[in-house]
Amino acid sequence: MPTTTTPFVVVPLPASQLDRIRGAGVDDFDNPLSPTIDETGGSPLRCCLRDSSPGERIALIAYRPFPWSGPYAEVGPVFIHAEACDGYGEPHRYPEGFAHRRQLLRAYDHDRRIIEGLPIKDGAQALRVLSWMLSRPEIDFVHSRNLEWGCYMFTVQRTPHEGPQDRS
C-alpha cells in the first residue's frame, strides 16, 4: 500500500456528532446506544477508520452520511467505539485499516446526485480511482461503501485548496 500523501482528504464520522450521540445515549434515529465487547475484533470502526481489536467496546448506530435531505440521504448501520477515541489522524492518507476491504466508491456531483460507482478490490486500487474521480470537475465528493454489506465507510473530498470543505 503506497504511503505517499494523496490529493484528497479522507473524512471519518465527525467527532462532534459522535460525542453528541454518545452523550445522549441514542443515535439520531432514537436507537439506544448499546455498547458491547467485540470478542473477536474485525468490526470496521467509522470513528478512527480501522478494524476493532478483540475486547474493545464498540457500538452499532444508525448513521446518515448526508447532512441534507434528499433521495440519496439513506441511513445505515455503522460501528463506532463506545467511548471517544483519537479518531482518524491521517486524513491525507488512504485508511490503512480499510485497505483490505472491497469497497464501492460512489461519486456525487455538485447537485448531490450519484454520477459514478465503481467496485474496488483494495486500497491500492482505491488510491488510483479516487485520484481519477476527484480530478474530474463534475465530481464533488466520493463515498466509500462496503461492497458486500452496502454500509457507509467514509467520505473523500478534494484537499481544501482544491475544492469543497468538510460537509459535517
Reported as a single tens digit per residue, the pLDDT across 121-131 is 999 999 999 99
Q: How many domains does the chain have?
A: 2
Do 99 and 127 lie in one domain? The reply is yes
pLDDT tens digits for range 11-43: 999 999 999 999 999 999 999 999 999 999 999
All residues at 6 or more sequence positions from 166 whose CB lies less than 8 Å from its CB, including other chains: 9, 11, 14, 157
Residue 75 and residue 113 in contact, taking contact as beta carbons nearer than 8 Å: no
Residue 77 and residue 151 in contact, taking contact as beta carbons nearer than 8 Å: yes
pLDDT score for 154: 97
HSE-up of residue 50 (Cα within 13 Å, Cβ side): 14
Of 52, 81, 110, which marks where a domain is finished? 81
pLDDT tens digits for range 36-77: 999 999 999 999 999 999 999 999 999 999 888 888 889 999
Do 115 and 76 lie in one domain? The reply is no
Do 29 and 75 lie in one domain? The reply is yes
pLDDT score for 10: 96
Residue 76 neighbours by CB distance under 10 Å: 15
pTM of the model: 0.88
Whether 61 maps to a domain, the answer reads yes
User: Among 4-18, 46-60, 137-151, 152-166, which range has the highest average pLDDT?
Assistant: 46-60
The edge-to-edge listing of strands for the beta sheet with 50-51 is 36-38, 56-63, 76-81, 44-45, 50-51
Domain of residue 106 covers 90-158
Lookup result for grid cell 488510483? 128
Do 29 and 77 lie in one domain? The reply is yes
